[in-house]
Homo-oligomer: A and B are copies of this chain.
Amino acid sequence: MTDLFTRHGPMLRAALAALQSREFWTPFSEIPSGKVYGETAKAEAEAAFAALQGRAFDLPGHPESRRLGQEQSPYGFPLGIDYPAAAPAALVAASQAAAPALAAAAPERRVGICLEILVRLNRMSFLMGHATMHTTGQAFAMAFQAGGPHAQDRGLEAVAMAWSEMTRFADAARWEKPQGKAAPLVLEKHWTLVPAGIALSIGCNTFPTWNSYPGIFASLATGNPVIVKPHPAAILPLALTVRVAREVLAEAGLPADAVLLAVDAPGAEVTQALAVDPAVKLIDYTGSNAFADWLRDHARQAHLFTEEAGVNSVVIAACDDFDGMCSNLAFSLALYSGQMCTAPQNLYVPAGGIETDQGHKSFDAVAQGVADAIDVLLSDPARAAGVCGAIANPATLQRLDAARGLGRMIRDSAPVGAGRSASPLLLALEAGDPASEAECFGPVAFFVATKDAEEGIARASTLAAQKGAITGAIYDTDAARILRAVQAFAGAGVNLSVNLTGNIFVNQSAAFSDFHVTGGNPAGNASLTDTAFVAPRFRRVMWRRQLRA
Contact = CB atoms under 8 A, between A and B. Distances in A.
State the copy count for this chain.
Answer: 2
Contact of A541 (B170, B518, B531, B535): B518
A170 B21 contact: yes
B513 A539 contact: no
A410 to B, nearest CB: 26
A505 B163 CA distance: 33
A181 B494 CA distance: 34
B490 A541 contact: yes
Nearest to A506: B544
Given A179-B503, A503-B179, A541 B174 contact: no
A540 B192 CA distance: 30
A501 interface: yes
B543 A490 contact: yes
Given A499-B545, A539-B527, A543-B498, A23 B168 contact: no
A304 B22 CA distance: 30
Interface in A503-549: 503-504, 510, 513-515, 518-520, 527, 530-532, 535-536, 539-546
Given A300-B296, A539-B518, A546 B500 contact: yes
A493 B176 contact: no
Contacts of A489: 541, 543
A495 B22 contact: no
A194 B490 contact: yes
B176 A24 contact: yes
**Majority SS of interface residues in chain A?**
mixed
Interface of A: 19-24, 165, 168-170, 173-179, 185, 187, 189-192, 194, 196, 296, 300, 486, 489-491, 493-504, 510, 513-515, 518-520, 527, 530-532, 535-536, 539-546
Contact of A542 (B21, B496, B545): B496
A490 B171 CA distance: 14
B504 A187 contact: yes
A20 B544 contact: no
Contact of A185 (B189, B491, B503, B520): B503
Contacts of A194: 490-491, 493, 518, 520
A495 B543 contact: yes
Given A185-B504, A532-B536, A535-B535, A168 B20 contact: yes
A524 to B, nearest CB: 11
Give the interface centre of A23, A173, A185, A543 by most chain B CB atoms within 10 Å. Answer: A543
9 contacts: A173-B513, A175-B513, A179-B503, A189-B514, A489-B541, A497-B544, A500-B545, A520-B541, A531-B531
Contacts of A19: 169
B513 A189 contact: yes
A544 B176 contact: no
Contact of A23 (B173, B178, B527, B530): B173
A546 B491 CA distance: 22
Closest 4 CB pairs of A and B: A498-B545, A22-B173, A520-B539, A532-B535
Given A185-B502, A535-B530, A23 B176 contact: yes
A168 B21 CA distance: 10
A19 B540 CA distance: 14
B504 A546 contact: yes
A234 to B, nearest CB: 28
A546 B514 CA distance: 14
Contacts of A519: 536, 539
B175 A498 contact: no
A170 B21 CA distance: 5
Nearest to A190: B486
A499 B536 CA distance: 31
A502 B186 CA distance: 10
Contacts of A500: 545-546
A238 to B, nearest CB: 28
A274 B209 CA distance: 41
Contacts of A173: 21-23, 513
A527 B540 CA distance: 9
Contacts of A170: 20-22
Nearest to A500: B546
Give the interface centre of A168, A502, A515, A541 by most chain B CB atoms within 10 Å. Answer: A541
